[in-house]
Amino acid sequence: MNRRQTGSHYEELAAEYLTARGYRILEKNFRCRTGEIDLVAKDGSTYVFVEVKYRSRNTYGTASEAVDWRKQDKIRRTAMFYLVRYRLPEDTACRFDVITAGPDDKIRHYPNAFGGI
């Protein structure tokens, strides 16, 4: 598989993982001028913006370490655009989760992985 196919594969696994836990997937690969969010889901009434990361090796750090402050900032700005685009109220409950898979292929879910908007 090439990088794009690999990314899509793990995003699909992450969506299945969340769905099995009662989340509702609203969008996959939401894109706008500020960036991309891999999955937008709802957990009850909370909007969840999910970054999915895969690393075949930990040579350059783990998958979760790849979601650094720059990536977090880009995801926050993109989430803000999502909320405005769909005219959701300012007090809409939302959070940022990270789902990773590493060399062992095990899915790890980090709810509320970093601060919100």
Task: Convert the pLDDT of each residue in 67-94 to its tens digit.
Answer: 789 999 999 999 999 999 999 998 999 9
Reply yes or no on whether the pLDDT at 104 is more than 70: yes
Q: Which helix (H) or strand (E) holds 52?
A: strand 46-54
What CATH number should be reported for the domain holding residue 102?
3.40.1350.10
Closest CA to 101 of 33, 44, 51: 51
As for how many domains the chain has, the answer is 1
- The Cα–Cα gap between 63 and 52 comes to 9
What confidence score (pLDDT) does residue 95 get? 96
pLDDT tens, position by position, 13-61: 999 999 999 999 999 999 999 999 999 999 999 999 999 988 766 655 5
Domain ranges, residue 65: 3-114
Q: 42-51 b/e with 16+ CB inside 10 Å = b?
A: bbeeebbbbb
* The pLDDT of residue 5 is above 90: no
- Residues 76, 61: Cα–Cα separation, whole Å: 23
